[in-house]
Amino acid sequence: MRFHERVDEKSRMLPWYVNEFISKKRRTLSPATLLNYCHDYIIFFDWLLAEGYFNGDRTDIPLELLNGLTVQQIEDFLTFLQFRLDNSPLTVNRKLSALKALFHYLQNIAETNDLQPYLDRNVMAKVELNQVKEDQEAIAQKMSGKILWDQEYEQFREFVAQGYGDLYKENKRRYHFHLQNRERDTAIISLILGSGLRLSEIVGLDVDDLDLKKFSARVIRKGNKEQYVFFSEQALLDLQDYLAVRKARYKLTDQIKALFVSSPMGPKGTTRRMTPRAIEKMVEKYAAEFGKPALSVHKLRHSFATRYHAENNDVPKLRRQLGHSSIQTTMIYTHLTNDELKRAVDNMDGYPSKQTESE
């Protein structure tokens, strides 16, 4: 199912004015962002129901209720996110930002037939985001132990392609499931490691989005921007291996355009586009057996970016490749590859680092 179809499905589970907001934002926000908004809004409106602020269905929650919410009630909701749902301060900020966008629309943009705003009062404007005081250096250091380095890129790819199957040759179910999907799984891993694409961009790819002659893929980036992103030669080879078996292996008709599809399931043996969670679980499975359980889809993207910067030292090009709106986000990878600082600290006490001794 394409992202926009999932957005339609989720938005129908929300009040009419939220549905209207989602519809208005389709021109400026990516389907992946809108889907995240819908999930965040469902959590918020379900919390209102659980707290007894409205007796009825989620879709029937009136604008009047939002108009009368207090700052303390919103603070209670944020506390619920952090301590009951175990959301990090950054995740709480993201959910609060989604609500701020909705309430801003209801007060300052939407209007009734009488030219009156939907809301007279915007409580979200009175609530501040969490102050997250991690600098880029701290973020980089946290990330460094959770990504692939040096020979691990190819080692992990080889493990997905062959090593995992060798590990479970005695387990017929796991072994045959790996044989069924290893070309697909290797192509996904190789494409992320060879391009730095986001999870939503990988999920949204159709076969027709690939240009194998130009080593590029057409993707819809954040902000609903279309862009052609290059991938590596190894990714090309793994994609070709997967495409050679894709149609027959997954029993596909010409009408199914999704690049990465699930194994045939159910009595009819139907297939569908892989979901974001399916790809996440696939990566988690291989990462755990490979010995790097912290590795995730996003960490594979970080791995690509770190390697790209180390080999090319071109932040503007890396920014474009990753689709970052701000160059400050891309600058994190300059900290991940800053070995000079470590050598300087090592030398302070008269103990040169191993790298210095070998130079």
Active-site positions read 198, 222, 298, 301, 324, 333
CA distance 204 to 259: 8
Amino acid at 20: E
Half-sphere exposure of 35 (CA within 13 A, CB side): 16
Q: Specify whether the CB–CB gap between 334 and 309 falls below 8 A.
A: yes
- Select from 309, 165, 158, 188 the least CA-distant residue to 258: 188
Q: What angle do CA 324, 329, 332 make, to 5 degrees?
A: 130
Identify the CA nearest to 124 among candidates 88, 84, 95: 95
Contact 18, 11 (CB under 8 A): yes
Which strand ranges, in their side-by-side order, compose the sheet holding 225-230?
210-211, 216-221, 225-230
Question: What is the spatial distance between Cα 187 and Cα 237, in angstroms, rounded to a whole number?
Answer: 8
